[in-house]
């Protein structure tokens, strides 16, 4: 947590923030007035990604660092690595992530001959895997359905709902607030972390729809 004058602000970090999803979310939160840190396994890559986001963001709001520096310096840490690196990344950062809110955006997918499928995860979902690996962190699952390409367009409003699943009510409310801070996005309470599997799997459906319609589809929940 940082303090400027009397104002307390939350620092948001991104593991794997050099990829399009982490970079896109970092851009949107920086534009919303948050302090963000882009993480990487390589400091030069982190700095390069931070510089590209900083071009559009308020001055001084974006920095880069190694993933472990990002995990320890942030209050809220987004996990934006491919599923293949998910468990190992979290295991290696467990001590730095203790006591933090960890937001998992990972959708475990397989791409084969132009078709996207959801992969079965032993723990039930990437989010539940994160919870098992990080017993001393508060895991929230969100943003798995939001296209990085849309996030990376700073002037575009994204018409989408973001389903937020967590077992901790305060952390869930905080992440719903973060979702609401992006123009056009609405955070929706998706219940406990066990429901994250449905959101992760549905990402495969959206990507298959994208291929058919040559579009960036997303979800809207009606009737609530």
Ligand X SMILES: NC(=O)c1ccc[n+]([C@@H]2O[C@H](COP(=O)([O-])OP(=O)(O)OC[C@H]3O[C@@H](n4cnc5c(N)ncnc54)[C@H](OP(=O)(O)O)[C@@H]3O)[C@@H](O)[C@H]2O)c1
Sign of CA dihedral 148, 106, 116, 196: negative
> What distance in Å separates the CA atoms of residue 155 and residue 165, rounded to the nearest whole number?
28
- Report the residue number, 174 or 206, with the smaller CB distance to ligand X: 206
Cβ atoms within 10 Å of 1's Cβ, excluding its own = 8
Contact residue for ligand X among 10, 11, 148, 219 (CB under 6 A): 148
CA distances from 172 to 20, 27, 40, 102, 166 (A): 24, 21, 26, 11, 6
Instruction: Please identify, using beta-carbon distances, which residue of 9 and 48 lies nearer to ligand X.
Output: 48
Among 12, 13, 14, 18, binds ligand X (CB under 6 A): 18
The nearest distance, CB 177 to ligand X, in angstroms, is 20
Q: Which stretch binds ligand X (CB under 6 A): 15-23, 55-63, 114-122, 177-185?
A: 15-23
The contact mask relative to ligand X for 200-219 (x = CB under 6 A, - = no) is: --------------------
* Per CB under 6 A, 144 contacts ligand X: yes
Residue length, the chain? 224
Tell which one of 45, 47, 124, 167 touches ligand X (CB under 6 A): 45
Q: Characterize 20-54 residue by residue with b for buried, 16 or more Cβ atoms within 10 angstroms of its Cβ, and e for exposed.
A: ebbbbbbbbbbbbebbbbbbbbeeebbbebbebbb
- 107 lines the binding site for ligand X (CB under 6 A): yes
- Which of 10, 20, 75, 117: binder of ligand X (CB under 6 A)? 20
Q: Smallest gap, in angstroms, from Cβ of residue 36 to ligand X? A: 15
Q: Determine the 3-state secondary structure of 46 from DSSP.
A: helix
> Does residue number 158 form part of the binding site for ligand X (CB under 6 A)?
no
97 lies in the site for ligand X, by CB under 6 A: no
Between CA 162 and CA 143 the distance in angstroms is: 6
Residue (162 or 174) nearer to ligand X, CB: 162
What is the spatial distance between Cα 126 and Cα 197, in angstroms, rounded to a whole number? 8
Residue 93 main-chain phi, psi, to 5 deg: -110, 10
Interface contacts to ligand X, rule CB under 6 A: 16, 18-22, 40-42, 45, 80-85, 89, 105-107, 144, 146-148
């Amino acid at each position: 947590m940082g303090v400027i004058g009397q104002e307390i602000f939350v620092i948001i970090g991104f593991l794997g923030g050099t990829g399009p999803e982490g970079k896109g979310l970092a851009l949107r939160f920086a534009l919303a007035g948050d302090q963000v840190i882009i993480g990487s396994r390589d400091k030069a890559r982190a700095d390069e990604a931070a510089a590209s986001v900083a071009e559009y963001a308020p001055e001084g709001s974006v920095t880069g660092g190694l993933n472990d520096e990002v995990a320890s310096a942030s209050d809220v840490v987004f996990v934006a690595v491919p599923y293949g690196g998910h468990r190992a990344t979290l295991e290696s950062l467990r001590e730095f992530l203790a006591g933090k809110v960890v937001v998992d955006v990972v959708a475990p997918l397989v791409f084969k001959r132009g078709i996207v499928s959801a992969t079965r995860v032993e723990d039930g979902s990437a989010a539940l895997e994160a919870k098992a690996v990080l017993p001393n962190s508060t895991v929230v699952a969100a943003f798995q359905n939001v296209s990085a390409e849309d996030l990376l367009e700073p002037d575009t409003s994204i018409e989408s709902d973001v389903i937020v699943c967590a077992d901790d009510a305060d952390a869930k409310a905080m992440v719903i607030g973060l979702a609401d801070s992006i123009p056009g996005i609405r955070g929706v309470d998706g219940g406990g972390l066990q429901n994250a599997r449905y959101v992760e799997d549905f990402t495969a459906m959206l990507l298959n729809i994208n291929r058919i319609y040559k579009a960036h589809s997303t979800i809207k929940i009606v009737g609530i």
